[in-house]
Structures are given as structure tokens and as C-alpha cells.
Amino acid sequence: MSSDLSESSTGVVTEFSDPSGLGVITDESGREWPFHCVSLEDGTRTIETGTRVRFVQGFRVARPEAVHIIRLKAVSFVARTPCGCL
């Protein structure tokens, strides 16, 4: 584990409980980061599993935790034929 826990990371919400507001983000390396809904930057207190997010690695309640969580927009693309036509 890095001693600098202020790094920004991306990952996917893999668990979330509405009643408790607790969840888990799995980052791109497979590490799990617990979080509480108050860390959602958009002010909502809920998030769907499968949502891609960016977060800061921080400490809360004396343990590493995801904080400053921002939802990432889904990337869409248009498939093109080999000639470049739609």
C-alpha cells in the first residue's frame, strides 16, 4: 500500500447498501475500497452497482477508504464500416 493515500483512482462500484449507505469500489488493480455515501460528491446518498467512478484514496475512521467519489459518464461510440461510412 502506498504511504501517500491522496492518489486519484478509477474503479467500479461493486457493492452498495441503501439502508446503511455503505459500499465498496473495486479499482482497476482489483483492490477494494470501502466507502460511505457521504463521500459521493454530487450530494446524492445512493449509487448503483456497476457505476464507474473516480475517487481519492483517503482515510476515514482510521482505515483506508474511497473519498471524494465522482461518477464517470459512460463512453459511447459509433461503429463504423471499413470505408468510414455509418
Domain spanning 8-71, CATH architecture: Beta Barrel (2.40)
The pLDDT score that the predictor gives to residue 3 is 37
Nearest to 47 by CA among 85, 15, 10: 15
Whole-model pTM: value is 0.79
With 50 as the cut, is the pLDDT of residue 2 above it?
A: no
The pLDDT score that the predictor gives to residue 1 is 36
Where does residue 60 rank: exposed (0-12), middle (13-18), buried (19+ CB within 10 A)?
Answer: middle
- Cell output for 63: 482505515
Maximum C-alpha span of the chain: 57
Please say whether the beta carbons of 16 and 46 come within 8 A.
yes
Express each pLDDT in 13-72 by its tens digit. 999 999 999 999 999 999 999 999 999 999 999 999 999 999 999 988 789 999 999 999
Domain boundaries, the chain: 8-71
- Cell output for 24: 465498496
- Residue of 42 and 7 predicted with greater confidence: 42
